[in-house]
Amino acid sequence: MQNKTITELAQGLRSGEFSSVELTSAFLGRIRQYSSLNAYITITEELALQQAKTADARLATGNAELLTGIPMAQKDIFCTEGVKTTCGSKMLDNFIAPYNATVVDKFNSAGAVMLGKLNMDEFAMGSSNETSYYGAVKNPWDVNTVPGGSSGGSAAAVAARLAVCATGTDTGGSIRQPAALCGITGLKPTYGRVSRYGMIAYASSLDQGGPMTRSAEDAAIMLQTMAGFDPKDSTSVDVPVPDYKSGLANSLEGLSIGLPKEFFGEGLNSDVAATLEAAINEYRKLGAKVTEISMPSLKLAIPAYYVIAPAECSANLSRFDGVRFGYRCENPADLTDLYTRSRGEAFGKEVKRRILMGTYALSAGYYDAYYIKAQKIRRLISEDFKKALSEVDVIMGPVTPSTAFGLGEKMDNPIEMYLSDIYTIAINLAGVPAMSVPAGFAKGLPVGLQIIGNYFAEAKLLNIAHQYQQVTDWHTYIPSHFE
């Protein structure tokens, strides 16, 4: 059962081939069996079985949606009422969310079954899922390598079939990069397409939730549930949500694809480049036209991002002060001691690094020199995307410069770690949608192809990915130890 898609499982549930309780129990068994991957922080077994019984009753009435009874999991950044929500941090190790994130409510309304909360880099700050207070997640393709981050638990769980699908969040590549390294499909929607209400903030102008699945068709089903305007979220955009599944079969004849020369130069591993070239050739066979384009501002994305994101992180994480909720140090001498020790003891090294970077960039005398300049660069990057996407339908390129790297390999070199996101960060700065699609393997490890579209063009991206997956089978591969 674990190798079936959402559509196949939905058909099995409706036909009575198996029940949601049986399906959920099978996945809970796999989670226990492969606990060494460390993909889950919290397993909500009792809740999951309750939801599965409710789903079975709903299925019996014929009033079910595609996700009704489907076992999925939530990244541990989405607040879930009555369930521990940690953001992978000691700071929130004792935090029981008093309400649901809008995304969680939407899945509950659809009748989905939540298996648990997935491991992640602390407060979504990391590219390897090694900064989590609960330990590193392992890549199912090679347990000595990282799964990517920050949504590494989500990617590993889907790849190892420990959940049918999962939610992720993407601030600078945190859905696409782990999706690429774990050989699954991951979609970062347009900024504002999915509600951020109840999604604990890292960088508010960049964060966006999205689906992490085996296939583009499954991603379309998940996004159908996740997307939509939310009056509780001031950054949510009131744009109609199309039927994402209905356009999956559209022909790609005449599709124009742009390949930024900045994406295919120095720094891209030659094996990854060869794998991507083979994938792009498949699109040529499907009738697409491929041209080289230039986006000169892309080289400025990393320095701009690592001013803007830490600045927003510095502001957002100021609420974690040991007073209202979360970790509180023991026997503080005074208020200053309470603040400094609570934050010093509960935040990890990478989170502290980014808070300090952001506070510095926002300080008097440096705000204009760093933060304002970074925002001006952000506008240049957005203009580059607008210009490119007025000339071509979509942009394609790598998701990561290499395949999954070894656990611990980059932990002592933050600059090298930050460069892991060199091909993904610009997309968040511009706010456009993008996805990672399994495109093959390089020396036994998965490679992802990145597809970038115009604002609110998720349906087009899903169609392009789905058509590729009709003529290739990379998305069906399973790590050998998890079949």
Query: Exactly one of 19, 128, 132, 150 is catalytic; which is it?
Result: 150
Strands of 31-89 (E only): list them: 40-43, 71-75
Count CB neighbours of 49 within 10 A.
16
**Tokens 């009435």, located at residue:** 61
- Amino acid identity, residue 205? S
Please state whether the peptide bond connecting residue 150 to the residue before it is cis, i.e. omega within 30 degrees of 0.
yes
234 an active-site residue?
Answer: no
The Cα–Cα gap between 32 and 383 comes to 48
Catalytic residue, chosen from 19, 20, 75, 215, is 75
Catalytic member of 19, 127, 132, 174: 174
Distance separating alpha carbons of residues 439 and 301, to the nearest angstrom: 25
Our answer to whether residue 150 is catalytic in this structure is yes
Contact criterion met (CB below 8 Å) for 209 and 78:
yes
- Would you list the DSSP string of 359-423? HHHHSTTTIIIIIIHHHHHHHHHHHHHHHHHHHSSEEEEESSSSSPPBTTSSTT-HHHHHGGGTT
Q: What separation, in Å, do the N-terminal and C-terminal C-alpha atoms of the chain show?
A: 11
Respond yes or no: is residue 174 known to be catalytic: yes
- Cα angle value 299/304/306 (rounded, 5°): 115
Amino acid sitting at position 93: D
User: In which element (H, E) is residue 186 found?
Assistant: strand 185-188
Q: How many whole angstroms separate alpha carbon 52 and alpha carbon 265?
A: 49
Long-range contact pairs involving 46-50 (C-beta distance under 8 Å, separation at least 24): 47/83, 47/114, 48/24, 48/113, 48/114, 48/115, 48/116, 49/21, 49/24, 49/25
Q: Which amino acid would we find at residue 190?
A: T
Q: Shortest CA distance to 42 belongs to which of 77, 5, 69?
A: 77
Active site amino acids: 75, 150, 174
